Amino acid sequence: MKKKLVLSILTVIILLLGFAAWKFFGPTVHVPEKRFFYISTGETYEDLKSDLQNQKIISGKMWFNRAADMIGYKNVKPGRYEIKKGMSVLSLVRMLKNGQQTPVNFVITKLRTKEALASKVGNAFECDSTQMIHFLNNPDSLKEYGFDSNTVMTAAMPYTYTIKWNITPRKIFDHFYTAHKTFWNAERKQKADSLGISPAEVSTLASIIDEETNSATDKPNVASVYLNRIAKGMPLQADPTLKFALKNFELKRILNEHKAVQSPYNTYENKGLPPGPICTPALETIDAVLDSPKTNYLYFVANSAFDGTHIFTTNYADHIKYARLYQQELNKRNIK
C-alpha cells in the first residue's frame, strides 16, 4: 500500500514537472495575426504583460512571470518583436529581455511630397507623421545635413532601409543621409560639376524626367533638352512641375490657366530648375542626367503613336508640328 502511495506521488510530481516544463519550454506562445508584438517607448512591465494577454499571445501572466523571474527580466525595452510559431514562454521572455527586435524594411520607391514620406514613416514606425513632417520642415535640423525644406527630398533615395521601429525622425533621416552620401561618390560629384549643377539639382532634374517619361532610352535625351534650355536661359516649360505646383497629379492636359499658377515650381514663369525635386527619382534617372549626351535638342513632345516614346527637335516649328499631332490623337481618344 505504501509502495503504491509513493508511486502515485511520484507520478503526480512527474506530471506536474512535465506540465511546468511544457509551460516553460513548450510551444505555448500564440502568433498574433500580424506576427509582431510592439512595445511602445515608456511602456511599463505591467503594461507589457497586459498587452501580451489582451492580444492572446500568452494565455495568462503566471508562467510569464515565473519565466521572467527565472532569467531576471524587468527592464522593458521598446521595439518591434516577431512572434514565431512554436515559440515558448521562456524564449519569448529571453527575446524581450535581450531587446532582440526585428527591424522594419522601409522601402522608398516614388514619392512626390514630404507629406507622403511623413505619412509612410508614420505608418511604419513608432514616431508619427506629424513628428516626421516637423523634422522635414525644420530648417535648423536640415541645415546640419546640407539640405533645406525644398531639397530635403533628394536625400530620400529609392532604397530598402533596415531601421529599428522605435526610432526618432532624426535617426530615420540619418539612414537616408548615409545612403545619399554613399551614392554621391566622387565620380558622380565630378560629373555633376562638369554639367554646372549641384547633386541636389541633378536629382531635381531627374525627378522632372521621371514624371515626363518611363522610357529608359528617352531619359538621357530629355535630360539633354533641359540642360540645353538651362544653358540658353530658356524656361524649362516642364508640365510635371505645374502638376506639382497645383498638387494635381492626375492632369492629362496642361492649359493656359494652369500655366498661370503662382509658384516657384512653375517652370513656364520661372527660368532654371525649381527649388527642389517633384518626386523621388530613380537612381537610373539620376545617372541618365549625369551621362546625358551632348545634343542640340531644345524641345520634345510625346509621340502621337502613344508608345511611351518622345520626338525630339531642335527648332520650334518642328516641335509645334509634332505637338499638334499629339493633341489630335488626344482628341481622338477623348482624353481630357
Exposure string of 318-328, with b = 16+ CB inside 10 Å and e = fewer, is ebeebbebbee
pLDDT at site 18: 47
Average pLDDT over residues 40-68: 91
* Of 19-28, 102-111, 131-140, the least confident: 19-28
The x, y and z cell numbers of residue 219, run together, are 531619359
The percent of residues in the chain predicted with pLDDT above 90, rounded, is 75
DSSP characters over 65-124: HHHHHHHT------EEEEPPTT--HHHHHHHHHHT-PPPEEEE-----SHHHHHHHHHHH
Q: Answer positive or negative: Cα dihedral of 121, 127, 133, 135.
A: negative
CB 260 within 8 A of CB 329: no
Q: pLDDT tens for residues 194-213?
A: 999 999 999 999 999 999 99
Exposure string of 227-264, with b = 16+ CB inside 10 Å and e = fewer, is bbbbeeeeebbbbbbbbbbeeeeeeeebeeebeeeebe
pLDDT at site 29: 86
pLDDT at site 281: 96
How high does pLDDT run on average in the chain? 90
Q: pLDDT tens for residues 144-174?
A: 999 999 999 999 999 999 999 999 999 999 9
- Helix H or strand E segment including 141: helix 139-143
CB 249 within 8 A of CB 110: no
The x, y and z cell numbers of residue 308, run together, are 511611351
The x, y and z cell numbers of residue 284, run together, are 537610373
pLDDT at site 82: 96
Distance CA(274)–CA(293), nearest Å, equals 22
Model confidence at 21: pLDDT above 80: no
Range 253-256, long-range pairs (CB < 8 A, 24+ positions): 253/330, 253/335, 253/336
pLDDT at site 150: 95
Q: pLDDT tens for residues 211-231?
A: 999 999 999 999 999 999 999
